[in-house]
Amino acid sequence: EAQVTQNPRYLITVTGKKLTVTCSQNMNHEYMSWYRQDPGLGLRQIYYSMNVEVTDKGDVPEGYKVSRKEKRNFPLILESPSPNQTSLYFCASSLGPGTDTQYFGPGTRLTVL
């Protein structure tokens, strides 16, 4: 089944404790992206990747890192999480950045205390 998976789905952590949210897709998509969704602010892009080893900042990259060592995986790293990073996070992938539909993962609800 074609899908985008994220882990964990739910996470409660404390300020400053490094964490990684994994994202994997099995559709051989080149383009992958991370978003956060907050009430009243909609979906905002954190980082995106056009292909392996190619990543670029979205609208709200501060406090986040990503890597794209393989085409299928695009982990999101929070080196020192803070409470303002409490949010719902979505990973998405598509064949390319142009006209292709993005497929979203199920979401990761993160709470930073």
Query: What binding mask, one character per residue, do residues 46-85 give for another protein by CB under 8 A, x or -?
Result: --x-x-----x-xx--------------------------
Specify the DSSP element, H or E, that contains 11.
strand 10-13
Q: What is the dihedral of CA 65, 58, 33, 86, to 10 degrees?
A: 60
Q: Residues near 69 by Cβ (< 8 Å), separated by ≥ 6?
A: 52, 53
- Out of 11, 63, 103, 111, which residue is the one contacting another protein (CB under 8 A)? 103
User: Which pair of structure tokens corresponds to residue 19?
Assistant: 């964490």
Q: Is 43 in the site for another protein (CB under 8 A)?
A: yes
CB of 59 to another protein, least distance (A): 8
Question: Under the rule (CB under 8 A), what is the footprint of another protein?
Answer: 31, 33, 35, 40-45, 48, 50, 56, 58-59, 90, 97-99, 101-107
